[in-house]
């Protein structure tokens, strides 16, 4: 059960990495749009510097055709580093690109997955990660729990090494549900994790404990002073 941050905001990555244990960073063109016109390759190199080589970095291609996807993947590998997982949307052209990249030994994250058939074909094409889009499936009246459960059972049944990297979350209930269905990893905006721990009842519990301690030992006294 692992988490990634679904953001390319440098300050958020630095800040929230102190609190949450993550195994990587994911992005897509819409996530990049939130930061404006970044210096594309330098920005990702900076993220790599922050997270280190032991965490995974997932960068999505924009091209829609096989040749374009392969060329963009090559540019990313050349200008960021060769450990980047190239995110490829699971279209017909995308499946060809996944196979092409795997033949070259490049890490691949199959993305924009709304259906079982997309995920299963991507697994068979050799994708290292498959990214089912939880919230977007719900928006389309597709059952993400059923889809993710099927992926998990097929991975078990046929011994695929593919990792389910669940994505597209709008609340932590969806994240927990993806894990319960067998996703090993979930990519989440840091703000969602932050909000999950900012519930008033949690803060009240902490305040109450501090108040009870103060009542017994006095104001401003810490355990280290005893
Ligand atoms: C991963 O990076 C996915 O592209 C992302 O989680 C999709 O999220 P969205 O459905 O909020 O666009």
Q: What is the pLDDT of residues 13-67, one digit of tens each?
A: 999 999 999 999 999 999 999 999 999 999 999 999 999 999 999 999 999 999 9
Q: How many CA atoms lie within 13 A of 27 on its CB side?
A: 28
| Longest distance between any two alpha carbons in the chain, whole Å | 71
DSSP state of 111: E
Instruction: Using DSSP, state whether 141 is helix, strand or coil.
Output: coil
pLDDT of residue 47: 98
pLDDT of residue 148: 98
Query: No. of H helices and E strands in the chain?
Result: 11, 8
| Residues contacting ligand 1 via CB (< 6 Å) | 6, 26-28, 30, 111, 131, 133, 135-136, 167-168, 187
Nearest CA to ligand 1 atom 5: 168
Q: Which atom, in ligand 1's list, is nearest to the CA of 165?
A: 1
| Low-confidence stretches of the chain (pLDDT beneath 70) | none
**Alpha helices, H only, 36-181:** 40-51, 66-79, 92-103, 116-125, 134-139, 144-158, 172-180
- Give catalytic residues, as residue numbers: 87
pLDDT of residue 211: 98
């Amino acid at each position: 059960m692992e988490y990634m941050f679904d953001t390319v905001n440098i300050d958020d990555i630095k800040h929230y990495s102190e609190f949450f244990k993550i195994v990587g960073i994911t992005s897509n063109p819409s996530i990049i749009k939130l930061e404006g016109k970044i210096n594309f390759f330098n920005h990702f190199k900076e993220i790599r510097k922050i997270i280190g080589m032991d965490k995974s970095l997932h960068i999505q291609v924009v091209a829609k055709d096989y040749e374009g996807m392969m060329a963009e993947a090559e540019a990313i590998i050349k200008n960021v580093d060769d450990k980047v997982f190239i995110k490829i949307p699971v279209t017909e052209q995308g499946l060809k690109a996944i196979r092409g990249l795997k033949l070259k030994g490049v890490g691949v994250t199959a993305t924009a997955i709304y259906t079982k058939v997309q995920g299963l074909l991507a697994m068979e094409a050799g994708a290292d990660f498959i990214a089912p889009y939880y919230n977007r499936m719900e928006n389309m009246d597709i059952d993400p729990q059923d889809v993710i459960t099927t992926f998990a059972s097929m991975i078990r049944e046929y011994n695929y090494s593919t990792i389910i990297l669940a994505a597209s979350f709008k609340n932590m209930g969806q994240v927990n549900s993806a894990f319960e269905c067998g996703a090993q990893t979930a990519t989440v905006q840091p703000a969602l994790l932050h909000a999950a721990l900012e519930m008033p009842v949690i803060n009240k519990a902490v305040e109450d404990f501090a108040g009870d301690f103060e009542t017994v030992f006095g104001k401003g006294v810490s355990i280290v002073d005893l």
